Amino acid sequence: LDNGIVQVTLSKPQGSITGVKYHGVDNVMEVIDKEDSRGYANIYLYWDLVWNPSDRDSGIYQKVYGTEFEVLKGDANHVEVSFRTQWDPSNRGKLVPLNIDKRFVMLQGSSGFYTYAIYEHLQGLPDVNLGETRVVFKLRKDKFHYMAIADNRQRIMPMPDDRGEGRSEKLGYPEAVRLTDPINATLRGEVDDKYQYSCDNKDSMVHGWISSDPSVGFWVITPSNEFKSGGPVKQDLTSHVGPTALSMFVSSHYSGVDTVPKFRNGEYWKKVFGPVFIYLNSAPDKSDPKLLWEDAKKQMQVEVGKWPYEFPASEDFHKSEKRGSVSGRLRVVDKYINKEYINGNSAFVGLASPGEAGSWQRESKGYQFWVRADVDGNFVIKNVRTGVYNLYAWVPGFIGDYKSSVNITVTSAGNHINLGNLVYNPPRDGPTLWEIGIPDRSAAEFFVPDPDPKYTNRLYVHHPDRFRQYGLWERYADLYPAGDLNYTIGVSDYRKDWFYAQVTRKDGQGSYQATTWQIRFRLDSVRRNGPYKLRVALAASHLSELQVRFNNPRVQPAHFTTGLIGRDNSIARHGIHGLYWLFSIDVESSWLLKGDNIIFLTQTRGQSPFNGVMYDYIRMEAPAGTVVLDNGIVQLTLSKPEGSLTGVKDHGLDNIMEVMEKEDFRGAILTSFASSDDLRPAATDGGVTVHVEREYVVLDNGIVQLTLSNPGGFVTGVKYHGLDNVMEVNNREDNRGYWDLVWNPSDRHSGIFQKIHGTEFDVVQQDANQAEVSFRTHWDPSSRDELVPLNIDKRFVMLRGSSGFYTYAIYEHLQDLPDCNLGETRVAFKLRKDKFHYMAIADNRQRIMPMPEDRQPGRSQKLDYPEAVRLTNPINAALRGEVDDKYQYSSENKDSMVHGWISSDPSVGFWVITPSNEFKSGGPVKQELTSHVGPTSLAIFVSSHYTGDDIVPRVRNGEYWKKVFGPVFIYLNSAWTKSDPKLLWEDAKKQARVEEGSWPYKFPASTDFQKSEQRGSVSGRLLVVDEPGNNDSVNGNAAFVGLASPGEAGSWQRESKGYQFWVRADVEGNF
């Protein structure tokens, strides 16, 4: 292949590169003839793999040789050639049972070439484990001496001969040698080990070699990591002494067999590895090698910008038209750190094959797509192949893994999926008592010692990656000769006093012994209300078993053991991290002591110097029912929810409260009943919190706790004043508090009832003073005639110090949606029938109501229409003979500002307050339902009650329409048990006037709700003339005066699409 810049020669039909000619160098590849085991000579670039049958543990090394050659594309702009091999049953146990198609591509004007391969396991092929596959480049050792893998990781390298006998000393494993007589004498005494140059996948997008004579660079550029195994932080080899440059696709490096793809039971599999770009550049002879490095980085950015490439001829490589994108925002909820949402700053967010949370780090069969979120947690994952994925994430600073609750299907070009706000709840039971380290999946923050001077790689002296020095595990015994590590909370510093790895200790007989580390800490008291929690996050583990004991190093069995875990070999390979492990240990209070405590961490396996673990982070949590307040001066420990003060820690005094032996009486807080003037409980100081779970969203301001289904947006629970739920808990969750409607297409007369079920959830606003959440549904054409053709956004709002919550909704009919009649829409609340028996809708319209069972056969007699029954055998015998009919409790819009229900035990009121009727249909005297037997409370926005179809809004002929219904306020109040219910009614009326005075509200986040700055006023005086020939006028005393959509006189009473604003004139007709 030749484009006038680069010439590439490949063997046929094997498909191995035997020569690369560039910039006056006949061959940049190593030119020494050397035959491999199959007799092929002069092979300097090859694809290879390590595999084994399922019944064999040891790996079989195999270079991938083609048996069929084909030119797939050849014109002046683009050449692509293929070298295929088809598996033959006669090769069972000898060659990997895969069909492999290696490709090489050259483009016009390109200073390099591309290579990729398609691996396929057909359904009938034998089981196989694919331990490793890669592409290898062997360069001329007489030319390429300078290697670069990062801005701060580049150097003159040893010659391959330096690793041979007579020039080096073997160290603890074959890859590591100490140079005793290198060709370049300045390197004498250094260690060379290819694993010292490993990189995370996310950081190995360009690496390679530089020749100084002529000044030529050879670079492996990986424009995407989608085809690599193990995600963004899996480490792998890059370039190393040879001079060798690699592109690793699958390996067990830094992970062990967990990342090895295993194909069983005739499983079909196909995957495209690559393309990667082999880039060659040049500069004036003997120029600074960094010029070529900087140019290679620029070219890497160019290649990234062109991904996905359009040139590959294989249909298995998805071009842009077969890719979509996924975006969203990730936020974290950890109420013990911040009551408000925490942005997922710099979170790793990715798509990978469906699995458990964190399974991406062991996934290797499919493709993965990862990005880093911005400081606000926003992310956009572009160029995602069509397929089914889970969204995974982890956030530096927090333990654990996030996983989306549903699969995400990417279909085609332009398919953009916006997931909206996602909330991660990291593992947490109680407040932090103490912690060691930083939860970032690395041990780099801990103490990394200097190497033994005889084992130095000078590149890593005073380097951020100093952990890549050889032999650091041996330094543990040097630093702790007499005993193992002891760490004291509040005294020790993990940056200096916590060794980066818990390794074995070599004894005098040459054996390796287990080590036991101690964490010492004090407890002012031991809570008995639940287990404590110890979180142990490991950054790496190799053939280890970590046992944890509390205050007794000899207890058997150990209080906790991980069992045998890990084969990542990160200690030997200078990795500072391998696979991530998180263990959450329930710590029984009986294991702990008041005062001094010790945790014993024993790594029990001692077969080699490389057995051990690296810690990421350790945290001790108090029981869930504990509150710890700490400002660095005083630490308070309180029981929860009692609020008993169990510990006060100050300078020199571990617990001031120790003089009080009985914990519950150490700090008792006395409260008195609220007066009847204020029937709302006092607000807490915590402000408003939002807790998002997989199926629920919880808003809490310390007075009221509101639970909503996620993403449906149904009110499933309202907790208030000792009642766990004021909603009817025997009803289905979507039949407690809900928005609903009745609608019909224009060509159908009968109405269709529909509860409004959200499909997308979002936290619109959240701080200590206010939280607003949204549950949206967008109409889909597949739902024609089944779901109302409207886009609906239901909102719920909670304010700090408010004894209730608000709800409103935005209804929208887009121009291209079908015709629609909206017969009714409302919000309904169904309360506990065992509690709420007294209903009030006006000063003179309140009473004890029948039970819902009273309306059933055997207790009632049906009357002329379904809503009306005569009570024949009611549960409350005093109601016998009465009629119940929900329409008996209807009110005109102008009179229904507040109505609701009262419970006598406890004495609690539940009220629907409508501070304005501007969003209701039909004007001030249209009548509507209010509250009725259920116990049910309603806020009706549109209906044909008392009007008929004249008032039904009809949206026709591509008409655009949008309207905000609400907000209405759901108010809860309380009084002492069995007090006069009228106390709660009077308080609710006062609150209704407060809400009316606050209108228009300032808090709604929707711009469709117009605030005061978007509103004006109209005034005047109305006079009446009602006598022919007499111009004397009569004042429009108490006239109803209003603004409504333009129409005929009186049209307002049939108007329902727009807003109406009505007042009563004074005695002189002024308004």
Residue ranges and CATH numbers for the domains of the chain are 6-156+199-306 (2.70.98), 320-333+346-424 (2.60.40.1120), 432-624 (2.60.120.260), 627-665 (no CATH), 689-997 (2.70.98.10), 1017-1064 (no CATH)
Q: What pLDDT, on a 0 to 100 scale, did the predictor assign at position 749?
A: 82
Q: Has residue 978 got a pLDDT over 90? A: no
Q: Has residue 629 got a pLDDT over 80? A: no
Q: What pLDDT, on a 0 to 100 scale, did the predictor assign at position 686?
A: 66
Q: What pLDDT, on a 0 to 100 scale, did the predictor assign at position 54?
A: 87
What percent of the chain is predicted at pLDDT more than 70?
92
Provide the strand spans (E) within 213-268. Answer: 215-221, 235-236, 239-240, 244-250, 262-263
Q: Tell me the pLDDT tens digit for each residue of 886-932.
A: 999 999 999 999 999 999 889 999 999 999 999 999 999 999 999 99
Q: What pLDDT, on a 0 to 100 scale, did the predictor assign at position 366?
A: 98
Residue 1029: pLDDT band (50, 70, 90) is low
Q: Tell me the pLDDT tens digit for each residue of 836-877.
A: 999 999 999 999 999 999 999 999 999 999 999 999 999 999
Residue 630: pLDDT band (50, 70, 90) is low
Q: Has residue 673 got a pLDDT over 70? A: no
Q: What pLDDT, on a 0 to 100 scale, did the predictor assign at position 982?
A: 85
Q: What pLDDT, on a 0 to 100 scale, did the predictor assign at position 662?
A: 33
Q: What pLDDT, on a 0 to 100 scale, did the predictor assign at position 543?
A: 95
Instruction: Give one DSSP letter per residue of 347-401, joined into a string.
Output: -EEEEESS-STTGGGG--SS--EEEE--TTSEEEEEEEESEEEEEEEE-TTS-S-
- Distance separating alpha carbons of residues 718 and 34, to the nearest angstrom: 79
Q: What pLDDT, on a 0 to 100 scale, did the predictor assign at position 506?
A: 87
- Mean pLDDT for 74-80 is 96
| Residue 15 backbone class (left: φ over 0; alpha: ψ -120 to 50; beta: rest) | left
- Mean pLDDT for 244-249 is 98
Average model confidence (pLDDT) across the chain: 92
CA distances from 1023 to 387, 925, 1016, 1038 (A): 72, 21, 23, 11
3 state DSSP class of 995: helix
Residue 652: pLDDT band (50, 70, 90) is very low
- Distance separating alpha carbons of residues 896 and 906, to the nearest angstrom: 26
Q: In this structure, what are the phi and psi dihedrals at residue 1004, rounded to the nearest 5 degrees?
A: -55, 135
Q: What pLDDT, on a 0 to 100 scale, did the predictor assign at position 34?
A: 57
Q: Has residue 648 got a pLDDT over 70? A: no
Q: In this structure, what are the phi and psi dihedrals at residue 296, rounded to the nearest 5 degrees?
A: -65, -40
Rounded to 5°, angle at Cα 231 from 225 and 233: 100
Q: What pLDDT, on a 0 to 100 scale, did the predictor assign at position 639?
A: 58
Q: List the single range of 400-404, 642-646, 895-899, 1039-1043 with lowest mean pLDDT.
A: 642-646
CA distances from 971 to 88, 738, 915, 992 (A): 76, 16, 12, 9
Largest Cα span, the chain:
130
- Mean pLDDT for 814-830 is 94
- Distance separating alpha carbons of residues 127 and 263, to the nearest angstrom: 5
Q: Has residue 238 got a pLDDT over 80? A: yes
Task: Give 776's DSSP letter.
Answer: E
Strand 416-424 and strand 323-332: the pairing is: parallel
Beta bridge partner(s), residue 971: 804, 911
Q: What pLDDT, on a 0 to 100 scale, did the predictor assign at position 675?
A: 31
Q: What pLDDT, on a 0 to 100 scale, did the predictor assign at position 181?
A: 97
Interacting residues of 397 by C-beta distance below 8 A, sequence separation 6+: 345, 438, 439, 440
